[in-house]
Chain A
Amino acid sequence: MLNRRPLDCDIADPEKFSALPEDIQQKVLEALKCPCVDASTRLLLLRLERMGVLKCL
């Protein structure tokens, strides 16, 4: 069953985050400011969370 929790994310590992391409860093930072992300960006955040780049509540 779909479980779409509101994403409230922050950077968990600054070293991993800074290793992302600049455009993706920018995209993630913009997404962190606004929870109104599309499914594609939401997937990116969730994947980065599972890889230890972000932490999301």
Chain B
Amino acid sequence: MSSLLDALSMLRRFRGYLAGAGGISDMINALRWSVWYAVKWWEEAKAAGKVDAPVARALYRSLLHHGYVDEEGDVVKRPRTPGTPRGPYAQEWLALHRSFDAIFRKVLEGDSEAARILFEAMQAQGWYKLWRDDFLKAAGFRGRRIFEPRMRGGHNAVDIYAEYAPELYAGYEADEASVEALLEAAPNVVVGDCPGSGICVFKAATACELADSLAKLAVEEVLLFNALQWMEDPVGELACIKRAAPKAVFYVGQPVVETMPGFLAINAAAGALRVFSRDEVEGLLEAVGLKRRRLLLREIPFYASVWA
């Protein structure tokens, strides 16, 4: 039922995304590859005795939900090999999974560098940008005074700044190298002492560390795009943001357990700390006093909603 509702919503609100994928059947075909690879990776993780690795736990949780493995982790349903999608963005999605497949053994052995590089590349892929941009359009994102908690390289910041020309795009990075790259890549970037306009990057590990500065920035929009599962303390951090920007609208778009297991695994391997179900995501947002204003997509191809 929810898949049907999501399909209708996709047809109504995400036409660009659908067109890029090559139509709804090609999009479904591309998404099936994520399941197909997830089952393959889960079996490889089991064979290697690595079922407790973060990437394996992400796979298990989603595959269990989708009915491909049972509680014991045995594969009880095997997806047929999907056809190759024709749409250019669907092909990029498949290329992402192929690339992760090539490094999966390294990931299981605990090498996180290869997955981090892949995640970096993913943020520059056309399908990822289309996913984000169509989500923002469908959500009615105005793009005036934006806060993105974890910038993770600044790809969203650079693209959204170019597209929406906001008064302010603020966020934080935990490591110096990310700050330096962003400074060097784009104009109007300021680090630390934010003048209240341009792209402001704070050096911090959590939004709570910059709550006082954030409160002075009159943030109107909080972008939580593929973000909550990367936070160490999502409720604590959301509470800090809500206190600092009490009137802001929160735009939430991300994969959930009910979404694509292979993509969840790629996130987990690249450093995402958790895997959330749709109900868990909504529970986090409700826990800090936010109320859902719009539900754009329940789970397929991702979860998307607006809160305030």
Interface residues of A (CB under 8 A from B): 2-5, 16, 19-24, 27, 38-44, 46-51, 53
Contacts and interface: CB of A to CB of B under 8 A. Distances in A.
B182 A22 contact: no
A48 B185 CA distance: 12
Main SS class of interface, B? helix
Interface of B: 91-92, 95-96, 98-99, 102-103, 113-114, 116-118, 120-122, 124-126, 153-155, 158-159, 162, 177-178, 180-187, 189
Contact of A20 (B91, B117, B153): B117
B183 A3 contact: yes
11 contacts: A16-B114, A19-B103, A19-B117, A21-B118, A22-B95, A23-B125, A42-B184, A43-B155, A44-B124, A51-B116, A51-B120
B185 A21 contact: no
Given A2-B187, A27-B124, A43 B117 contact: no
A39 B154 CA distance: 11
Given A19-B102, A40-B158, A5 B181 contact: no
A interface, over-half SS: helix
A42 B125 contact: no
B121 to A, nearest CB: 4
Given A19-B117, A24-B121, A43 B185 contact: yes
B186 A23 contact: no
Contacts of B113: 51
A57 to B, nearest CB: 13
Contacts, number: 86
Nearest to A17: B117
A41 B123 CA distance: 11
B181 A19 contact: no
A49 B120 CA distance: 11
B162 A40 contact: yes
Contacts of A46: 181, 184-185
A2 B182 CA distance: 10
A39 to B, nearest CB: 4
A39 B162 contact: yes
Nearest to A21: B95
A2 to B, nearest CB: 6
A42 B125 CA distance: 14
Given A46-B185, A51-B117, A21 B153 contact: no
A21 B117 contact: no
